Structure 1
Amino acid sequence: MATDNLTPTQPPSVAAQSATLEYRPRAGRYDEAYTDTGEVRPHWQYVLNALDQLGPAGLESRQRKAQRILRDDGANYNPTGGEQQSREWGLDPVPLLIGSEDWSHVEAGLSERAELFDLILRDLYGPRELIKSRTLPPELVLGHSGFLRACSGLGAPNEQQLILHAVDMVRGPDGQIQVVADRTQAPSGAGYALENRMVMSRILPSLIRDSQVHRLALFFQALRRKLNSLSPNGGSPRVVILTPGAYSETYFEHTYLANYLGYSLVQGGDLTVRDGYLWMKSLDGLHRVDVVLRRVDDTWCDPVELRGDSHLGVPGLLEVVRAGHVAIANPLGSGVLENPALLKFMPQISEFFLGRQLSLASTQTWWLGDPEDRHFALDNLDKLVFKGTQRRPGQHSIFGAELSESQRKSLLKELMRNPAGWVAQSANLPSTVPVWQSTDLTPRPTVIRGFAVADEGSYTVMSGALTRVAGEGSQVVVSNQLGATSKDTWVLASEPQRFTTLRDQQTAPLTGEQSSDLPSRVVENLFWMGRYSERAESSTRLLRTVFMQLNSINSLPDSVRQQLLQSVTEVTGTRPGFFAPPAKEGLDPEPELISVILDANRYGSVCSNLNAMLNCTEEAREMLSGDTHRVLSDLRDTIRELPQQLQPGSLSAPEEALDPVITSLLALSGLSQESMIRGFGWRFLEMGRRLERTLQSTLLLRSLLVPVLDDDQEQQMLEAALMCGEVLVTYRRRYRSQPEMRNALILLLLDRSNPRSLQYQLSQLTQHLYELQGGDSTSLLSPERRKLLEARTLLQLSDADQLAEQDSDGQRVALDIMLGQLFILLTETSNLIAGHYFEHQRNPQRLVNTSWSDDE
């Protein structure tokens, strides 16, 4: 059992300044752990004493372990949604602690606020009493891009519309919690909070247990219960999570929640509208979707009625919602609630609906569309924070006090150009919390995001939160996009918590039957993951063999050297490469070989194939095990290190730098064999691998063995071919002689016991296609099976002696023809598989394609 070996010598009731961990709270800020007089707050005493016993070395070790776990889990965040900008998720080993009494106030406030926002949402898309009563200015709602007129009247009466609600909070200098923002479109962060808790439970297990920390499972149990109850179609509901894709900022969270909740992760292209219902495209046809938990912003969800240039949504989705045949959480149009100008009117709104003020106050806000507020904001620019009412990528809060003179003028110009598009807020200085920084604890500003989910007429609040802390002490904006790290949030219970799981939330009986309830896109990416991994492995093996031959003690004859180099170009497809017009004699081939390895922008290079494979793994992330993600992380590290190890002129052997690449690819192959359920995903991964291995082998054998050389030179080419096929040792043990063409061809082409022979690959492909067709031997052969049968027959009827024969022109024509035909047949087989299982008719699009700017 994992242990953190923490046995605090002081009881929780005794306050003590940490003896070995230095910490100095920042003056003028409320500190979560220490009072103004430097005393430890009572609910922090036990944890700080325990961390003090760990000391700097222990905390540093725990942080390294946490980052290793996060890396192995593939936890990352894409600041701009771009692959190249992706960074690992950061977690501080020192948690944020919230006492039971303090949390009860926050919990009640979050539940109350969610109920109020639900009432606002139902009103804005229903009777609009807030506008009619002048509680809200109409332009604040109707002029906001988040208000979607097409969604008016879509909500069911007397039902909760707002399913998920997230609230960003800060604790001001007076110690009071204030709300600074609401997230209602597709609130993110709950999955990251869960991942943080999972990691902390592995690095400080006994400390969590002894501190009686509230569990997070109840929140996710309520989420699953609510989503299942939303189904308008009865029966066992099919719930899917709609993601923008692998380049989304929080894609890791999407896959993490899909796995944790047991839902299918889909993209817009995986769904289609037919006969008034929403369907998911899977291998065996269409499956009706009842509930969509969306992580795609409102306007991108339906290119027919909303944003016409969107490729992230589903054409016709709104019409299905309008017909009452699918439920969307959160409902389309809920983005209007994220307008920060609403915070100015929250007291009036609360009085209008609830007849009282909210227990959790909002930060003081001025809307510049109001003349009085505008004058006040402009007169106090140095004391306020400015935000746009429309959320835009890359836009952050602007602190007036930090602006230069030119920046002030630019801001004033923008504020006067469109005052209704801006709000000003009090520059509340967030509370600080201890953060571990290499050798000691330092204070960092913190923002807490709490979560509430609709549940049985009210709202269930997560007994925890996503806590973000600034990456630097001088930062005033705490944002993931600006490098913020995170903390696990411990809500301390006054008594032990009952254990709960999601097991009772199963909505369908478990069966031993193979499930095809996978989006075709996921299966296609597994198929291409297999192909790209095999393509990269084949190229790397060949390059390693070529380096070994070039760097051997015995010099290579020019003909052998040229043929080996041209085989690299032929197999990788990186022409012109070594087929370019002959250059000066003795030209060093190493720069071209290294380019074939490292140039990721060169189609066919090793890094290009590896990156393509990694992209496929991102699209099918939810299908891969934790061990697989660890191997993929190792492979990414290896790719990053290759340029340093393959510097031109280096005295190290280049082939040694390629060994870790092959090892990682072999580990992936082994994991797929030993760890993946023999379902459709595994079959297509294996089919992709077998298809590509056959195609790569035919290219390799044609380039190495078809041209006829002198006996000694031919022996060298045979050794190279056997080495690439991982059977050189097998050949020597079996035949106890130097390589001969006939025996080599038998081993490489026809030997059924060799797992790398062409015959073996085709046998495996045949079996996979047979199982995909239901394992019915009496059914008619599909086109791809017929094409594969033709390829197998061609290979089985081949005669090794005839293939080894050479003609007067110095070529093995029979071998060349057979391998060429085999390549064509396997390529056609691949195309037929794609056409049968992956290609779908495009969804309808609107006739007039519109593109909205962020200002519209």
Structure 2
Amino acid sequence: MRAADGSVRPLWAGVAALLDRPGLAGLRSRREDTERLLADEGVAYRPPGADEPQAWRLDPLPLVLDGAEWTGLARGVAQRAELADRLLADLYGPRTVLDRGLLPVELIDGHPGYLHAWRRSVGRPRREVFLAGIELGRGPDGWTVLDDRVQAPSGAGYAMAGRRVVSRALAGLHRRSPIRRLRPFFDAMRTGLPAAAPPGVDEPRIVLLHPGPEAETAYEQALLSSLLGIGLVRGSDLTVRGGRLWQQSLGGLDPVDVVLRRLDAQWCDPLDLRPDSLLGVPGLVEVARVGTVSVLNGLGSEVLENPGLAPYLPQLCRALLGEDLQIPAPQTWWCGDPAGRAHVLARLGELVIAPIARDIAEPVHGAALTAAEREELAARITAEPHLWTGRVPVELSTAPTLAGDATVDLPVSVRAFAVASDTGWEVLDGGLGMVTDADGVLAKDVWIVGEPAPPRPDQTVPSILPATPPLSPRTADDLFWFGRYAERAEATARLLRAVDDRWADVIVSPDGAVLTAMPTLLAAVAAVTGTGPLGRSTDEVAAGLRALVCDRERPGTLAFAVHHTIRTAQAVREQLSTDTWLALGRLESALAGVGEHGERDALDEVVAGLLALWGIVADGLVRDAGWHLLAAGRRIERAQQVVALVRAALVASPRGAAGRLVAETVLIATESVITHRRRHPQDAAAGRGIATVLELLLTDTENPRAVAFQLAGLADDLARLPGRPPAAMGRATQLLATLDVHALSTRSADGTRPALDTALAELATALAELADQVAATHFAVALPPHPFDPLAGTG
């Protein structure tokens, strides 16, 4: 930000004014705004080994770079991406650079990322590298390359997410600054993907292959799927048959022509690569190697994420591109070379020591090691010298960063991105800035300002999805359960809220009817949620109701249903509007605030959040197969919840005023009490039976909360899906049609309603069978993946 004399560079004047004007209080406010906006959009990252995703960490203060400087730097990034593509083509083809001695053979064949199975016997595809990530830093001598990411580079999506957030958190400054846009880069990706298809494919089908929602960068993978308009798939969604790659869908199999890979190569194929992989596609290497599908980046590209290449890249650039390397790397020595090894061992305490592959060990600064640790490291280097490198450490320039309650200067790096296009390489006008504070890595939005971007050729960005993209059985399953869990959460929240109100009456001003009704209501809660008795004493009941709201680990609780709603939403993030996360974030916040505000406020907030969620989903999803499966899950769950509640509360409800109180609570929990009062104003006063309640909740085809209404809608949803309607659909409909609500409301000698119990038990069974049959029809896939390792399990 500052020049050598301490003055603020003109480029940073806006940020400097921002730091001067509001003081720390204003900066804290902007940080809080940034955190809120990240939460609203669901921007998350799962650190290795973490059980749950964590909020993405983003500094509200951008990193500002000069447009003229960036234009020159971008040319160097594009050159490095082109060099990577040419070098990979040679290493997996004629290997001329090895034959000519431009690279040591051990540096390539001894690298765990070099895949011999990727060697081609036919012509190479158009590209080995489609997307390249280049880690850059500015030291005392100018910009330098810190790292190459060409395996499955991440970060471009997070750069876009960061821009969205910072542009709102610093709206005034953002509008006043001539910042280059990020969107053209993703448009270039959309243009480049179809161009990478195998020859002769005019309308390629393109997918993004990822490990699943448990991946570290699952958020970004879903965001890229949405930005690019391509399907997000896992290995279990794909299959190889007849020498081609296919995607499993509800309608059968659809061909796949291009795979944008976010799964590390070693996990992509258990036949040719890691035999214990459960994430890949058996046979993918073979169909990609012979060219019936293009895999981007090429499966063998990890070999270039090798710091040992650094000493050889200048001569490789001249040999393969006929030009000098534009952006240098720090001076590096490969220990497989005797002279390089001697130099590294002699200066072990001064250099950064890094293995040639990330899974061997973490890079370490020799100065940070004890004498004993340096001696141990020297022994490892001597034993296997080809696995190690040493490089001169780089003193990176710093940028102002909001850390804690202060603004500090921290060393900063930038991950730049280049994507292949018909005209060469498109470089993202910005990138992912990164600093490290006491809590770990903190991202920065990178603003390229000052000089306009170079003109780009006019081109139409193609649609790279078919009109009706295929829906995999796995995605269908997740959408179905997203609907079920969200509906279960709403039903549980409404029931707990209604019963909690009655419980409050017991505590504040108990009367005979409430006291008599309460055991039935508490038993109904226990039965519907499946959590067991709530206890007998006042303290036990209060604690039990609270646990039903807050205990996320216990099946049947509200927190459990909300947690699984969010998890299933994360699994189908690419199918949902970004506004969905506003509502889901509200659910999490409501449950997190139970200790401060109490259960009742949390229940209100959860219900409001779920209503918002349903509105967003209803307005944001097209009425395709995915929508109808989500709706089917919701309808089945609502029908099951109503049947379970009516059975648990009304079969053995008390007589008189207490019984009427129980029936009214059921109506409140099912959002039908106003309709019932309007239709039957005389029932409460006359003390009549529950026939009208049963009619409204079971057989009324006009009440959206009634079982009959749900079955009618469910029949329409299932009719719009492939295959025949499940047999249980007819059985459930027939059982409902034969119900006589007046007969079912009649009590036996012991005061219960056994006919109602029998009828509802049969209906519950039919609904459960219906759910199972829907799953068997639409979610059945091939046998789950299993490892191909012949030694697995032998000890």
User: 1:136: Cα distance to partner?
Assistant: 2.1
How far apart are residue 443 of structure 1 and its match?
A: 1.1
Return the offset for 1:821: 1.0
- Structure 2 partner of 1:117: 84
* Range that drifts further, 296-305 or 404-413: 404-413
Distance 1:587 1:191 in 2: 50
Which is worse superposed, 88-97 or 321-330?
88-97
Q: Are 2:306 and 1:350 equivalent residues in the alignment?
A: no
Contact 2:76 2:327 in 1 (8 A): yes
Contact 1:66 1:203 in 2 (8 A): yes
Which amino acid in 2 is paired with 1:544?
R
Deviation, 1:831, is 1.2
Q: Supply the AA of the counterpart residue of 1:38.
A: G
Matched, 1:819 2:760: yes
Cα distance in structure 1, aligned partners of 2:668 and 2:24: 51
Code of the residue aligned with 1:110 in structure 2: it is V
Shift of 1:261: 1.2
- Using the TM superposition, give the Cα deviation of residue 499 of structure 1 relative to its aligned residue in structure 2, in angstroms: 9.0
| Alignment pair present for 1:712 and 2:657 | yes
From 4, 22, 43, the counterpart of 1:75: 43
Higher deviation after alignment, 440-449 or 841-850: 841-850
For the pair 1:606 / 2:558, whether they are aligned, the reply is yes
One-letter amino acid matched to 2:489: A
Q: Name the CA distance, whole Å, in 2 between partners of 1:166 and 1:820.
A: 59
Distance 1:805 1:499 in 2: 78
Cα separation, 2, equivalents of 1:641 and 1:723 = 25
Q: Report the Cα distance in structure 2 between the residues aligned to 1:155 and 1:279, rounded to whole angstroms.
A: 22
Residue identity opposite 1:665 in structure 2: L
Aligned residue for 1:505, secondary structure, equals coil
1:184 aligned to 2:150? yes
Alignment match, 2:568:
616
> Does the 8 Å contact 2:586/2:605 carry over to 1?
no
**Residues 586 and 247 (structure 1 numbering): CA distance in 2 closer, same or farther, change over 3 Å?**
closer
**Distance of 2:537 and 2:393 partners within structure 1:** 72
Name 1:377's counterpart in structure 2: 344
- State whether residues 304 and 845 of structure 1, in contact with CA within 8 Å, keep that contact through their aligned partners in structure 2: no
**Alignment deviations for residues 615-661 of structure 1 (CA, whole Å, 9 cap, x no partner):** 1000111121122111111112223223x24xxxxxx8643332212
Summarize the alignment of residues 432-581 of structure 1 with structure 2, pairs less than 5 Å apart.
432-437=398-403, 441-456=407-422, 458-472=424-438, 483-495=440-452, 504-507=461-464, 515=468, 517-552=470-505, 553-555=509-511, 560-575=517-532, 577-578=533-534
Structure 1 residues 413 and 598: CA distance shift in structure 2, 3 A: farther
Whole-Å separation in 2 of the counterparts to 1:677 and 1:500? 33
Give the equivalent residue in structure 2 for 1:733.
678
Distance 1:358 1:191 in 2: 28
Deviations 1:498-519 (A, max 9, x none): 6999863235786xxxx35233
> Per-residue displacement from partner, 1:163-186 (whole Å, max 9, x unpaired)?
111111111123x11111101110
Q: Is structure 2 residue 61 aligned with structure 1 residue 105?
A: no
**2:125 and 2:265 mapped to 1: Cα distance?**
23
Task: Confirm or deny that 1:810 pairs with 2:748.
Answer: no
Q: Distance in 2 between matches of 1:532 and 1:502?
A: 44
1:638 aligns with 2:580: no
Structure-1 residue corresponding to 2:628: 683
In the alignment, the residues of structure 1 paired with residue 29 and residue 257 of structure 2 have an alpha-carbon distance, to the nearest angstrom, of: 46
Does 2:232 correspond to 1:279?
Answer: no
SS in 2 for 1:626: coil
**Contact 1:307 1:850 survives alignment (8 Å):** no
Shift of 1:294: 0.6
8 Å contact kept, 1:694–1:761: yes
**What are the superposed Cα offsets for residues 478-534 of structure 1, whole Å, 9 maximum, x if unpaired?**
xxxx62212222223534776999863235786xxxx35233322221110111111
Separation in 2, partners of 1:186, 1:195: 19
In structure 2, the partner of 1:12 is: none
Q: Residue 24 of structure 1 corresponds to which residue in structure 2?
A: none
Cα deviation digits, residues 598-625 of structure 1 (max 9, x gap): 3222222222222111110001111211
**Is 1:257–2:199 an aligned residue pair?**
no
- Note the 1:45-444 alignment, pairs <5 A: 45=13, 48-49=16-17, 52=20, 59-80=27-48, 82-84=50-52, 86-153=53-120, 156-157=123-124, 159-174=126-141, 176-204=142-170, 207-208=173-174, 210-232=176-198, 233-392=200-359, 396-405=362-371, 407-408=373-374, 411-412=377-378, 414-437=380-403, 441-444=407-410
Q: SS at the partner of 1:194?
A: helix
Residues 728 and 222 of structure 1: is their aligned pair in 2 closer, same or farther, counting only changes over 3 Å? closer
SS at match of 2:281: coil
**CA distance, structure 1, for counterparts of residue 48 and residue 21 of structure 2:** 40
Structure 1: how far apart are the matches of 2:111 and 2:650?
69
Gaps in structure 1 of 5+ consecutive residues: 1-32, 473-481, 646-651, 774-780
Matched with 2:739 is 798
Deviations 1:69-126 (A, max 9, x none): 2221111121216342x22223323322222332233122112212221222112111
Contact 1:308–1:850 (Cα < 8 Å) also in 2:
no
Residue by residue over 1:701-731, the C-alpha shift from the partner in whole angstroms, topping out at 9 and shown as x without a partner, is: 1111112533233223212212211222332
TM-score (norm 1): 0.86
CA contact (8 A) 1:284 1:516 kept: no
Alpha carbons 2:162, 2:445 under 8 Å: kept: yes
Aligned match of 2:646: 701
Contact kept, 8 Å, 1:122 with 1:155, in 2: the verdict is: no
Letter in 1 for 2:531: T
Q: Which moved more, 1:428-437 or 1:526-535?
A: 428-437
Give the aligned partner of residue 6 of structure 1: none
Confirm or deny: 8 A CA contact 1:75 1:252 kept in the other structure: yes
Work out whether residues 244 and 312 of structure 1, in 8 Å CA contact, stay in contact via their aligned partners in 2. yes
Find the aligned partners of 1:516 and 1:286 in 2 and give their Cα distance.
Answer: 12
User: Which letter maps to 1:72?
Assistant: D
Matched-pair contact (CA < 8 Å) for 1:95–1:490: yes
Would you say 1:724 and 2:666 are equivalent positions?
no
Given that 1:308 and 1:851 are in contact with CA atoms closer than 8 Å, whether structure 2 keeps it comes out as: no
What amino acid is the match of 2:336?
Answer: G
Question: Paired residue for 1:648?
Answer: none
* Greater displacement, 750-759 / 184-193: 750-759
User: Is the CA contact 1:791–1:826 (under 8 Å) kept in the aligned structure 2?
Assistant: yes
Deviation at 1:434, TM superposition (A): 1.8
**CA 47–573 in structure 1, closer or farther in 2 if over 3 Å, else same:** closer
Matches within 5 A, 1:662-673: 662-673=607-618
Q: Distance in 2 between matches of 1:798 and 1:639?
A: 39
State the secondary structure of the residue aligned to 1:349: helix
Kindly indicate whether the alpha-carbon contact (under 8 Å) linking 1:434 and 1:441 is maintained by their aligned counterparts in 2.
Answer: yes
Contact 1:691 1:826 in 2 (8 A): yes
Aligned-residue Cα RMSD (Å) equals: 2.8
> 1:516 touches 1:680 (CA, 8 Å); kept in 2?
no
Code of the aligned partner of 1:343: A
State how far apart, in whole Å, the 1-side matches of 2:647 and 2:406 are: 63
Q: SS where residue 307 of structure 2 aligns?
A: coil
Pair 1:509–1:349, CA change in 2 (3 A): closer
Query: Structure 1 residue 404: deviation in Å?
Result: 4.1
Please name the residue that 1:629 is paired with: 581
Q: Which moved further from structure 2: 424-433 or 196-205?
A: 196-205
SS of match in other structure, 2:540: coil
Gaps of 5+ in 2: none
Which residue of structure 2 lines up, in the alignment, with residue 747 of structure 1?
A: 696
- Asked whether the equivalents of residues 653 and 659 of structure 2 are also in contact (C-alpha less than 8 Å), the reply is yes
TM-score for both structures, normalised by structure 2: 0.92
Conservation of the 8 A alpha-carbon contact between 1:304 and 1:846: no
Aligned match of 1:9: none
